Amino acid sequence: MTTFVALAILVAVTSPIERVKWLREVTELSAAAFGLGAGLSRATIASLESGRNDEPDLSTLRKVSLFTGVPLSWLLDGSGRQPSERRIRKAVSEALRAA
């Protein structure tokens, strides 16, 4: 059962857009709050998640990377290990406190 769940999570985050969606779900923030923390608009996050913007630019992904503490390379192509949810929540919490 554990193996199946891990595979499902890895399959669900196979593109930069899916990885951004997953990050927002992990942080439990609204699109507006996630965007604000990352220095992006709610509309940008909503556009990514809806698929209207199916190729986010490097600048957008860099901002998400800095806000969530995940490597830019992981956001771009999934290289390396998937970041832990605990580490992501900690980075976001610290970023929001500093803002």
- What CATH number did the domain enclosing 63 receive? 1.10.260.40
Query: Which DSSP letter does residue 53 get?
Result: S
Residues 6 or more apart whose Cβ sits within 8 Å of residue 74: 19, 80, 81, 82, 83
Q: Return the higher-pLDDT residue of 97 and 12.
A: 97
What is the domain range of residue 88? 2-98
User: Tokens 């998400």 appear where?
Assistant: 64
Give pLDDT tens digits for 32-54: 999 999 999 999 999 998 888 88
The dihedral region occupied by 64, where left means phi > 0, alpha psi between -120 and 50, and beta the remainder, is: alpha
Q: Give the model's pLDDT for residue 14.
A: 82
Count the domains in the chain. Answer: 1
What whole-number percentage of the chain has pLDDT above 90? 72
pTM of the model: 0.84
Q: Which two tokens stand for residue 89?
A: 């929540």
Mean pLDDT of 47-72: 93
Question: Could you give phi then psi for residue 78, rounded to 5 degrees?
Answer: 75, 15
